[in-house]
Structure 1
Amino acid sequence: MKAKELREKAPEELNLQLNDLKTELFTLRFQLATGQLENPMRIKEVKKSIAQIKTILREEELKACED
């Protein structure tokens, strides 16, 4: 998902999506350890998405402090 699309979402939605991605990352890491992971690049994609969401949440938090 692109950053522009993420910025349009409410913080509650972003937090839900963040939790889902963290769960998925945990599952992917477990699959990697057991040798069942089919697409190792998915780990990179999920980590990038987590970072994007955290960045956007932090930007909104800082914007709220300035006002």
Structure 2
Amino acid sequence: MTSPTDYETAPVELPMRVTLEPVPVEGCDVCAELDKQRSHHRLTRDGSGVTACNVEMRSHPHADGKRP
């Protein structure tokens, strides 16, 4: 059996996951509104709001089948 440590162990370092944010599709009102909301969330330091807007922007359909 191992003994518990009396000191702090080094933190686990996870690799950074870098993905580009979706770009609004030109002429799409939904993308334009989500882009505005995302900017607001970024200004208020609401990371989960920024992420939610990115997910919605990536997943909503367009008439021409384009994805941002």
What TM-score do the two structures reach when normalised by structure 1? 0.43
- Which entry has the higher C-alpha Rg, 1 or 2? 2
Higher relative contact order (CA closer than 8 Å, sequence separation 6+)? 1
What TM-score do the two structures reach when normalised by structure 2? 0.43
Larger fraction in helix: 1
